[in-house]
Structure 1
Amino acid sequence: MIPEPPVELGQAVLEPAARLHCAWAIAGSTDPPGQERGLRDAEIATGVLGVEEGVLGKRDDDGQGHLLVAAARGGRGVRSTGQNDGSMQVQRLGVAVGGSVTLPAAYVAEHVDLGYAVTAHRAQGMTVDTSHVVVTGSTTRENFYVSMTRGRDSNIAYVALDKPDEGHAPPEPDEVNAHTVLYGVLQHIGGELSAHQMIVAEQGRCASIAQLAAEYETIGAVAQRDRWVAAIRRSGLTDAQVEQVLASESFGPLTAELRRAEANHHDVDRLLPALVARRSLDDAEDIGAVLISRLQKATQPKRGNRRPSPKLVVGLIPVADGPMSEEMATALTERADQVEARALTLAGSAIEERAPWLKRLGRAPVTAEVRRRWLHEVRAVAAYRDRYGVEGHRVLGEPRTDAQKLDAARAELAIRRARAIADDAATTQEARSVALEPQRRSALGG
């Protein structure tokens, strides 16, 4: 079967492939010279198509192989003519004397491939007039660089938008375009990191809010466990029900929900018995899950009922407090301070770099006190983005878990507060400028 040329990649790419295809058909051949194999998905992640047609030698331990490799890597390519006996006459372009060789049929069948379309790995060292590169979300930065430096005259990238890369964070649905895919490619490092780069990356990971928040919540769960066990025993559950809750997988999430309720200024020691008494739990398959649901409904903010600001680390993480050992309290304080410091650093960097996501939060106020209040809200949003690895222009991305949805709601409130602060500051500044205008004119003699 004569292989079809690549499709939907532009006329410049189709022409050389079509010429080869037609040449085989005119000659009445059903198989092209040499072995042709389809590219697997992984190989076509970055495919390089050279406008110069030719052949590639897969073996260079004899004279024929040396010629092919030299032609493919250093010269203007090679031109080949297939013979009836399966051999191939190869002429290196630009070489008048000594640039031609006849490849035996056995060599052609085993070691020669068509050279108009190759993978990025095979393209290393090649030079062609024009290189056409197929780029997808799984393309690595290194392969993209190799592919886009093969052409002497031009290098053109064709970015696939319909094949998302499941192994990496995809762009948001309304942002999938060539720019976002290429941005992801440049962040996708395929090569192994050096020892220094690995140390820097590990330090960044350890200092990230995702890591510090996980440590804080783990320490908090251990520090408060005895307290929550005692609260559950006093809640009105029978001894058998208490043991069922403590042994269930929902016990951990239940303690996290108790901590969140307390951070929102609910008296958990009074609230939990009321929730247990609300309705019989005798027929409940998972008592802990039922209590979590009742807690979430009972602690929902009521319209018109203003409560004090919740006790949250960096505006996101419910504070773990109450009776605990001094060692645990110190560890929690240290993690909380590190999270706050990291969030402020991220907020400052975003402001300095004029990050696009800051637009929703308004312009930074000029006066020191108002700016401090505004920055306090910005640092919560910066912490959210760092915790969940949000990239791109959309401030909060697309929450994927219940925990992230809760944090996204808190971050959204911070966005609204920051915007209100910025708008009020702008209005005040404008009014002040209008009031001072007569004085300014008088000073200028107007």
Structure 2
Amino acid sequence: MTVAQEAARLAAVQQRWSFHPDQLVIIDEASMVSTFQLAALVQQAREANAKILLVGDPGQLDAIDAGGVLGWLDRQEKTTRLSSIWRFHEKWEGASSLKLRRGDYSAILDYEKQRRISHGTYLDMVDQAYLAWQADTLAGKSSILIAADNDTVGMLNERAQADRVAKGEVDPEISVLLNDGLYASSGDTIIARRNDRGLVDSGGDFVRNGTLFDVEGVSRRDGSLLAVRRETGARVVLPRTYLESSVELGYATTAHRSQGITVDTGHTVVTQGRLTRELLYVSMTRGRYGNFAYVSEGDEAEHPAMDPALRLSWRSILGEVLAAEGAERTAHEVREAERKKADSLERLYAEYDYLAQIAAAQSLKQCLNKHDGGSSLELDQSPSWGAAVAAWRNATTVSPQGAERVLEETLRNTTGTHDPSALLSMRLRRFLKGMPTASIDPLVEELPLARPDLAELVDQVRERIRLRTDTVTMTALTEDLEWKRVLAASLGSDASGQLIRDVALFRDEWGISDSPLPLGASPADYEWEQRRQRDKLQEAIDGVRDRQRPPQLATSAVNFPLSQHVVLTGAGWQL
């Protein structure tokens, strides 16, 4: 080939992929396009006087890099939405899938009513999902297994392949290595994980990410394989390099990689803490005729719970998934959210706590200076000084005299102590143990404010807390909020104004803004204060619900009061 011919070829390629005036460029799965990529495409289209059309679902997965543009356009009501759902055979499933998309918990009730949800131990759920998938494939249906993690996907793929080998449906004599570390042979099902326009099938279409193929044969000579596209029956030869970099066994896949797949039935294994709302929505919308969830509630044999009462039920696990929104926000939305958060109770309480710690530290230093030898210990240089100040603040709130007595006793017995601050912190916490304590209210806490500038800052923050409390309360009582509707539905009637106020202030204090669940997702174990407040509110909600239930007739000769129930814990029986 001459230089002129190569130049002409390159020019033709460039011309083919350049935008032209009045050209319409459609970008499918636009939610997965990053902001920088989209900006580059828009710039090229503007220069060529072309038009770009974004198509996709912002309720599905986002770009790996910074993205969120499609979702932002949707939230700004600058998009056009399709009015009908054509994928599902069952009409109810279309409506319920939209509930999943927006995190509406009533969707779980719909799927439960249609017997689409199973629950149990992890191994049982993996087994049930596999057997259901196997039954569908034997019945001639196209089906996919979906899991949250690669380990479960690998386990399911290996089991499916082994069963097909045992039945003689897969010939393991000649195999080729795939990207997931497993091997494919004639008769296997594989899935492409990358677009490659250089690989064109017999129907003229290129290999796309998410396409399912059936392996017809493996070349012993070069390690390539002949595959048949599941949807169209077109054949294509996949080279060894593409197989090793971009192909996996296709019996099971992760929730993230399932986007773009369409089959007759989908079977999803749900494990706690592994899925977001978007991933569950994608997983439960792959099948035309049925989508099934298998919720793992843990394995008591391998990981026994210290307190069985604290183990989440399958409903709570799915509720957490729906509350865990993973959709990315644009930089503009993040900036606006941070601006609004500046006056939230979450931020104001943090500011107040910072100022209160300064006041408590000064109070502790003054008390140390009152005692001989106290100031010479340099307790404030210890890594435990912050913990000692926090304990001092709590102790002086309960009993100033008692806290000072503990300090005196500690100072008298510091000989040989490596860290007097740690010792003081421990003894103050021991002093508080068993005493009635409650959450510190910034509006009524008496702080030892010796510095006028500190007192002025505390007054400013307290006034902002009062204003924010009034604003949050008024908004919660007067506006139609989604979490209020969910709360009313769980109670069977409208909640009282006091309960709505308490829930609204709790949400604002802990930054729960988007969750449709009244109390949000269950907090992490280390968020003990949030968990304590949440449990208290949950008791109030349960109390309202119990009072509205009709009285039950006694069914036995012995009736225990409701307040005295027996709980089986890891430490034994507790009354």
Q: Report the TM-score, using the length of structure 2 for normalisation.
A: 0.49
Deviation at 1:331, TM superposition (A): 1.6
Contact 1:212 1:338 in 2 (8 A): yes
Query: Counterpart of 2:330?
Result: 194
Deviations 1:69-102 (A, max 9, x none): 7687899x6555336757655455676xxx5435
Contact 1:57 1:69 in 2 (8 A): no
C-alpha spacing 1:321/1:395, structure 2 compared with 1 (3 Å) = farther
Deviation at 1:232, TM superposition (A): 1.4
Instruction: Classify the secondary structure of the residue corresponding to 1:9.
Output: helix
2:251 to 86, 96, 116: 116
Matches within 5 A, 1:244-259: 244-259=378-393
**Identity of aligned pairs, percent?**
23
Where in structure 2 are there 5+ consecutive unaligned residues? 1-125, 138-156, 183-187, 300-307, 548-575
1:30 to 164, 172, 186: 172
Query: Counterpart of 1:11?
Result: 131
Query: Counterpart of 1:276?
Result: 408
1:328 to 454, 467, 475: 454
Instruction: Classify the secondary structure of the residue corresponding to 1:62.
Output: strand
Give the counterpart letter for 2:451 in structure 1. M
Deviation at 1:11, TM superposition (A): 2.9
Distance in 2 between residues matched to 1:245 and 1:161, nearest whole Å = 47
1:404 to 529, 545, 562: 529
Distance in 2 between residues matched to 1:81 and 1:223, nearest whole Å = 76
C-alpha spacing 1:151/1:214, structure 2 compared with 1 (3 Å) = same
2:268 to 123, 133, 153: 133
Matches within 5 A, 1:365-380: 379=502
Give the counterpart letter for 1:13 in structure 2. W
Contact 2:160 2:251 in 1 (8 A): no
Deviations 1:152-200 (A, max 9, x none): 222223333339xxxxxxxx96462333333333333445321233134
1:287 aligns with 2:420: yes
Larger RCO: 1 or 2 (CA < 8 Å, sep 6+): 2
Deviation at 1:233, TM superposition (A): 0.7
2:298 to 143, 162, 166: 162
Contact 2:210 2:257 in 1 (8 A): no
Larger Rg: 1
C-alpha spacing 1:182/1:345, structure 2 compared with 1 (3 Å) = farther
C-alpha spacing 1:276/1:10, structure 2 compared with 1 (3 Å) = same
Matches within 5 A, 1:171-210: 174=310, 176-203=312-339, 205-210=341-346
1:220 aligns with 2:349: no
Where in structure 1 are there 5+ consecutive unaligned residues? 1-5, 41-51, 164-171, 366-370, 424-446
C-alpha spacing 1:65/1:113, structure 2 compared with 1 (3 Å) = farther
Contact 2:213 2:229 in 1 (8 A): yes
Give the counterpart letter for 1:320 in structure 2. L
Contact 2:191 2:248 in 1 (8 A): yes
Distance in 1 between residues matched to 2:342 and 2:127, nearest whole Å = 47
Distance in 1 between residues matched to 2:466 and 2:532, nearest whole Å = 18
**CA RMSD of superposed structures (Å):** 5.3
Contact 1:54 1:79 in 2 (8 A): yes
Contact 1:254 1:289 in 2 (8 A): yes
Q: Report the TM-score, using the length of structure 1 for normalisation.
A: 0.60
Give the counterpart letter for 1:238 in structure 2. G
Give the counterpart letter for 1:288 in structure 2. S
Distance in 1 between residues matched to 2:520 and 2:160, nearest whole Å = 50
Give the counterpart letter for 1:195 in structure 2. A
C-alpha spacing 1:30/1:331, structure 2 compared with 1 (3 Å) = same
Contact 1:385 1:396 in 2 (8 A): no
C-alpha spacing 1:208/1:138, structure 2 compared with 1 (3 Å) = farther
